[in-house]
A and B are shown apart, each in its own frame.
Chain A
Amino acid sequence: MSDEFTVYIDGVEIAARPGQTVIEAADEAGVYIPRLCHLPGLPPHGSCRMCTVIANGRSASACYQPVSPGMVVENDTDDMLEHRKALIEMLFVEGNHFCMVCEKSGHCELQALAYRFGVTAPRFPYHWFPREVDSSHPEVIVDRNRCILCARCVRASRDLDGKQVFHFKHRGPHKKLSVNATARLKDTDIDVTDAALDVCPVGALMRKRRAYDVPIGERLYDHEPIGSDIEHRASSAPDPVEPAEVGS
């Protein structure tokens, strides 16, 4: 494309187009920038901060930051690694995550990031806040113990399903996922086919009775670290990549 320009990520030249964000340009070029709240196909949210990079000398979230010609991005550096590990640990101690008994294990992006970055046990103390589980709906369960407030379900319900099933309540450390009903999930217009149910990166929002459809050992991150699919793009012939369909 004629208006393409060059951006440097950790010294490597990649091609980018006007209007792209740093993460979009990096994805196309096969450079993995870690992320949790970002999902191609949904508008960016910028809450997890995993994708923080240094762009032209300033901290920026790659899922929001537009590229500009000649931009210099620091991504895979020791500093960034430390910050990302700290963010992963923060999410682990904020919620109540028990990977060994979690149905999502192996499919969980938070767990996969911890493995990729070598976070085995958090240095920080757990908050142990009590969190609500809402299993009122016959087909769907919300387990707030595992929610990382990424707003993927909020955005997917609004933008893909044309509903507004999810929202947030309260602020600061009290912030929590809410449902659009004065009572519980069963009182909302959520449907088991909603795209909102395909996007949760952790095990906070799930269809009931499907947890073990894919056996442990054959799950997304059982064989390759999270991000490998993106990194493979760099080695294979770099076809122009369409953003992955949500829910596929």
Chain B
Amino acid sequence: MSEDLAARVSAICREYGSDAGRMMDITRAVQAGFGCVSEQAVEVIAAATDATVADVESCVSFYSFLSSEQKGKVVIRLSDDVPDRMAGFQRVLDAFSDELGIQPGETTEDGAFTLETTACIGLSDQAPGALINDVPVTHLSSDSAREIVRELRRHMDPRRLVHEEGDGNNAHPQIHSMVRNNARGMGAILYTPYNRGEAVNKALSISPKEVIRAIKTARLRGRGGAGFPAGMKWEFARNAPGEAKYVICNADEGEPGTFKDRVLLTERSDRVFAGMTIAGYAIGAAHGILYLRAEYKYLRPFLEAQLEQRREDGLLGKSVVGREGFDFDIRIQMGAGAYVCGEETALIASCLGGRGDPWNRPPFPAVEGYLGCPTIVNNVETLCCVTKILEEGSATFCEYGTRQSAGTKLLSISGDCLRPGVYEVAFGITLRQVLELCGAEEPVAVQVGGPSGQMVGESDFDRQICFDDLPTGGSMMVFGPDRDLLEIVENFMDFFVEESCGYCTPCRVGNVLLRETLSRVRNGAAEPQDLDHLESLGETVRKTSRCGLGQNSPNPILSSLENFRHLYEDLVSEAPDGQRRSFDLDRAVQEAAEITGRDPAHAG
């Protein structure tokens, strides 16, 4: 074993207190330093942290940004999501592949470049996008892909690829990114001026119980997707016995087509951190963790600096705003590429340094979460709403929205529309109004809530965006008349298959079977009964899966079967000649023809 490697890996372990609970940070740092977490590195880490070799391997093999195989100095991860595909993903991939002389998944012989595809990176409004090491590049074309490779060959420094910075804080020296906010809709959270420290001061001037009451009076429900009442969650955690309690901000933003948290973290990080501090005060926590998805690593230096500034300003640290007895600080925990880690129990498991396997509930995190302590997990946007409620009062907050869904909602809109971007709208707005806002000229279908949500058509356009009608964590993809909806559905199923944690049978196996059946339908090799199969299989996966990933993964198929059934039926109905309409004789005999080396008799 190389002594140098052993010494450097040990040093990394020491930096994180040789604590197996910081395995994510340790393995990430080793990956960054050596381009892989090799077998030798695994042994050193296991010895240093008192973990088993199997523990370390299990963690490394779980996350897509960690690998046991050597990666190139520059890793190009092209985002493979539906909006990327709609905007020319394949051409860009081919260009990268051709220019580098490697296939996706491979590394160039000189060890300089690795080319990969990855799940949605949170840039669907400027697709196709890619991450080059940590640096996001947007609006790619085959030309710009080639140009990027040529330029990188000259300096090998992805940061220098940023020739023109984006708007707002994207141009901040600590971010220095070409990403654009595309913040278009005017709304209370994104646009109202921000008075630093105001919300925290106001919260600390009342009792924790009164803070929780204010959140309840504002009828704030979680913005991460499930819509759980935030005040109630906080009250559980406040009343749960425990010396230490934790506040976690869920910035994993992994639902394909969602990117509103990216904009909030870029432009309104103060509101996010204030919201966490207020939550800490309310439930009696001294520690906060911001779980930041690996894809948003480029925001980390900026966010760290913001935290440091808040410490200097007395808004974090010992005796927050001079309040004796209320200490609160925040650390950033980086993710490593796993959608399931957005699920709150998986997120906590990941923060604890292992695989991101969700837990069975009970226990609920509010009672037994991080390190076994009462823990609340809230979405970035939810915490911004908290700050807003403290700034302006519960009544003002409720002026927007409906009775069951108070306030505003940020939508991430992508796909076939003139103005993709982030819109802040009042709950209760109809889908049709949203489509007008973003300039969707001929919408045929809309994926509301990302792949986990619903694919709806024209007959649903007058429904309202809110928790009781058409709920959404924010993702909204618009599809025009030229799109192959079933191809899109299949793409979503690919996503779920890859992102399942693999813990439970229905999600691990069922999603593969759902995808396989769908693909048979699309290839014209399915029977009409296969549609019933899809429905019953989908129902089993939905009913028996252990966490929200599997419970929602059949949604693309089930909702498109419901709303666009004719697309399926066209592919499986029998034609008058008794054959399936989509049956292609040439394709069916192609393999046999190749093997025998003969032209099929019916040819010509």
Contacts and interface: CB of A to CB of B under 8 A. Distances in A.
A40 B503 CA distance: 20
Contacts of B498: 172
A3 B61 CA distance: 47
Interface in B482-518: 497-506, 508-513, 516
B62 A170 contact: yes
A82 interface: yes
B40 to A, nearest CB: 9
A137 B57 CA distance: 21
B533 A66 contact: no
B540 A83 contact: yes
Contacts of A82: 536, 540
A15 to B, nearest CB: 22
B62 A52 contact: no
A90 B502 contact: no
Interface string A118-140: 00000111010000000000000
A21 to B, nearest CB: 10
Interface stretch (B47-55, B233-241, B440-448): B47-55
B543 interface: yes
A42 interface: no
A173 to B, nearest CB: 5
A149 B516 CA distance: 22
A201 to B, nearest CB: 13
A178 B60 CA distance: 13
A185 to B, nearest CB: 12
Interface in A89-137: 90-91, 93-94, 123-125, 127
Interface string B528-555: 0000010011011001111000000000
Given A124-B513, A169-B58, A179-B54, A49 B544 contact: yes
A145 to B, nearest CB: 15
B264 interface: no
A234 B539 CA distance: 32
B43 interface: yes
Interface stretch (A160-168, A224-232, A237-245): A160-168
A182 interface: yes
Interface string B154-169: 0000000000000000
A127 B412 CA distance: 37
Contact of B509 (A59, A79, A93, A168): A93
B62 A167 contact: no
Nearest to A163: B52
B362 interface: yes
A223 interface: no
A171 B349 CA distance: 14
Given A164-B54, A167-B55, A172-B498, A87 B505 contact: yes
Nearest to A127: B512
B540 A86 contact: yes
A30 interface: no
Greatest chain A CB density within 10 A among B54, B57, B62, B506 is at B54
B39 interface: yes
A178 B58 contact: yes
B508 A182 contact: no
Given A61-B360, A167-B54, A171-B62, A47 B546 contact: yes
Nearest to A151: B503
B338 interface: yes
A49 B360 contact: no
Interface in B36-79: 39, 42-43, 52-55, 57-58, 61-62
Contact of B355 (A66, A168, A181): A168
A168 B354 CA distance: 11
A164 B512 CA distance: 30
A180 interface: yes
Contacts of B536: 82, 86
A172 B544 contact: no
Given A49-B545, A83-B544, A172 B504 contact: no
Given A82-B536, A123-B533, A172 B508 contact: yes
Greatest chain A CB density within 10 A among B55, B362, B504 is at B504
A5 interface: no
A123 to B, nearest CB: 7
Contacts of B546: 46-47, 49, 61
A149 to B, nearest CB: 7
Contact of A180 (B54, B501, B503, B508): B54
A94 B54 contact: no
Given A52-B544, A59-B543, A180-B53, A169 B61 contact: yes
B153 to A, nearest CB: 33
Contact of A182 (B53, B497, B499, B503): B53
Nearest to B43: A182
Contacts of A48: 504-505
Contacts of B61: 169-171
A49 B502 contact: no
Nearest to A182: B39
B502 A149 contact: yes
Contact of A166 (B43, B54, B510, B540): B54
A178 B61 CA distance: 11
Contacts of A181: 53-54
Greatest chain B CB density within 10 A among A90, A166, A171 is at A171
Contacts of A59: 543-544
A174 interface: yes
Interface string B299-342: 00000000000000000000000000000000000000010100
A175 interface: yes
Contact of B505 (A49, A127, A167, A172): A49
A71 B503 CA distance: 27
Interface string A47-82: 111001000000101001010000000000001001
Given A46-B360, A86-B537, A175-B508, A167 B543 contact: no
Top 8 A-B pairs, shortest CB-CB distance: A175-B502, A167-B54, A90-B509, A180-B54, A172-B500, A86-B540, A49-B544, A64-B360
Interface of A: 44, 46-49, 52, 59, 61, 64, 66, 79, 82-83, 86-87, 90-91, 93-94, 123-125, 127, 148-149, 164, 166-175, 178-182
Given A49-B505, A171-B502, 19 more contacts: A49-B504, A52-B543, A82-B540, A83-B540, A86-B506, A91-B509, A93-B513, A94-B505, A124-B513, A124-B516, A125-B516, A149-B503, A164-B54, A171-B340, A171-B500, A172-B500, A173-B509, A173-B511, A181-B54
8 contacts: A47-B503, A86-B536, A90-B513, A123-B533, A169-B54, A171-B500, A173-B508, A175-B508
